[in-house]
């Protein structure tokens, strides 16, 4: 077994060495070749394996259930809202059990209920505004990246159009000359050699132009900027006041979902999803300093700002927005508990019998 392992390792080493030699010959530089090999080797095993990503981190909220989802109860506990919700239920039951005689005791209980309800509403409202505060900055960054992307797309399309026009025009002109030389006259015989050379050029020039478009399709490549975005904190990069997260949002992202005990936090699962997403193929290693520097716009790198980079940032920010927006589903459920439409108890998601009564024909059981 040891001998077989050594032989396998030796073959792998020879293969890598051969590839490095070939790349050196093609690239003209050993440093460039080593950089290419390093990029191929330094990637996670699960990277870019999911070609059709799906939603993750489901909230489990069911508006038809009388109780609350476990994730909503977890959020209420994190916000310090759960004790208030229980107090509201107790106070509401006390008010319902008292005669409507205008007694001082009933007025005091109703006053306590009103104060508890207002306090709970303010907590929900603040958390809702925390989510809006975070999403507002994310959307502002997306607008900037979209504007830059549009200019990059426009420059790329113009460059491709010029190259294609040059290819078509040169091809037509050279073939016209080639055929013209091939026409015999009364004074001269066929210019076979000249015609053949021109014909060769008519094939080579457009081919070179077509190969050049493969490079142009990637668009411009500039030095990446140093203006950290909302992705920075997710990867433990330094932040400033503009890209920091409110406490409630940051705690939500760093909690393990209550309906997925023993698994990773929402932030870790979000990053796992980005790494596995084949549509974000330029991000394949969460430990790569260069990749993270460029994605978070925290450090300048030569040829770091490209169409691909801007697309990756936009997609990642969109997915981050989607996960933060899911807090609002839980906040609605908590709001329903405040006004008495739901009870402050968790229901078993695995035993739910309710089916959404949509146009598809589902009915409540």
pLDDT tens-digit map of 51-70: 676 777 788 888 888 999 99
pLDDT for 82-106, tens place per residue? 999 999 999 999 888 888 877 888 8
Question: Alpha-carbon distance 307 to 74, whole Å?
Answer: 40
Question: Alpha-carbon distance 318 to 312, whole Å?
Answer: 10
Mean pLDDT of the region 218-234: 90
* Residue whose entry in the numeric block shows the structure tokens 């023993």: 262
What is the structure's pLDDT at 79? Answer: 94
Question: Alpha-carbon distance 8 to 20, whole Å?
Answer: 18
pTM of the model: 0.75
Question: Alpha-carbon distance 173 to 258, whole Å?
Answer: 70
Question: Alpha-carbon distance 234 to 253, whole Å?
Answer: 9
**Most confident of the ranges 16-25, 190-199, 256-265, 298-307:** 298-307
Mean pLDDT of the region 336-363: 64
Q: What residue ranges do the domains of the chain occupy? A: 72-155+222-348
Kindly indicate the confidence band of residue 204, based on its pLDDT and cuts at 50, 70 and 90. Answer: confident
**Most confident of the ranges 36-50, 113-127, 296-310:** 113-127
Question: Alpha-carbon distance 113 to 95, whole Å?
Answer: 9
346 or 362, which is more confident: 346
Whether residue 117 contacts residue 88, with contact meaning beta carbons closer than 8 Å, is answered with: yes
Per DSSP, what are the bridge partners of residue 270? none
Mean pLDDT of the region 110-129: 95
Whether residue 357 contacts residue 164, with contact meaning beta carbons closer than 8 Å, is answered with: no
Q: Is it the case that residue 233 has pLDDT exceeding 70?
A: yes
């Amino acid at each position: 077994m040891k001998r077989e392992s050594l032989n396998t390792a030796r073959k792998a080493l020879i293969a890598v060495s051969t590839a490095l030699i070939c790349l050196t010959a093609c690239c003209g530089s050993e440093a460039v070749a080593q950089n290419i090999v390093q990029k191929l080797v330094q990637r996670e095993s699960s990277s870019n394996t999911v070609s059709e990503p799906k939603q993750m981190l489901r909230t489990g909220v069911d508006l038809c259930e009388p109780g609350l989802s476990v994730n909503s109860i977890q959020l209420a506990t994190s916000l310090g809202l759960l004790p208030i919700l229980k107090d509201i239920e107790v106070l509401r039951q006390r008010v319902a059990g008292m005669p409507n005689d205008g007694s001082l005791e009933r007025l005091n209980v109703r006053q306590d209920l009103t104060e508890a309800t207002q306090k709970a509403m303010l907590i929900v409202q603040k958390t809702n505004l925390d989510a809006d505060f975070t999403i507002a900055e994310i959307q502002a960054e997306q607008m900037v990246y979209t504007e830059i992307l549009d200019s990059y797309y426009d420059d790329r399309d113009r460059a491709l159009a010029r190259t294609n026009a040059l290819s078509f025009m040169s091809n037509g002109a050279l073939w016209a000359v080639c055929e013209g030389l091939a026409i015999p006259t009364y004074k001269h015989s066929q210019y076979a050699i000249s015609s053949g050379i021109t014909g060769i050029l008519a094939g080579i020039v457009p081919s070179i132009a077509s190969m050049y478009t493969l490079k142009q399709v990637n668009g411009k490549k500039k030095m990446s900027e140093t203006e950290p975005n909302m992705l920075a904190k997710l990867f433990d990069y330094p932040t400033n006041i503009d890209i920091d997260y409110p406490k409630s949002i940051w705690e939500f992202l760093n909690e393990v979902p209550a309906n997925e005990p023993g698994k990773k936090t929402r932030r870790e699962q979000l990053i796992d999803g980005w790494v596995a997403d084949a549509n974000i193929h330029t991000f394949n290693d969460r430990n790569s300093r260069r990749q993270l520097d460029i994605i978070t716009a925290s450090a300048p790198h030569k040829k770091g700002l490209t169409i691909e980079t801007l697309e990756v940032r936009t997609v990642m920010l969109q997915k981050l927005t989607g996960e933060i927006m899911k807090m609002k589903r839980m906040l609605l459920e908590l709001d329903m508990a405040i006004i008495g439409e739901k009870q402050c108890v968790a229901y078993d998601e695995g035993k739910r019998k309710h089916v959404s009564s949509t146009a598809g024909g589902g009915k409540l059981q």
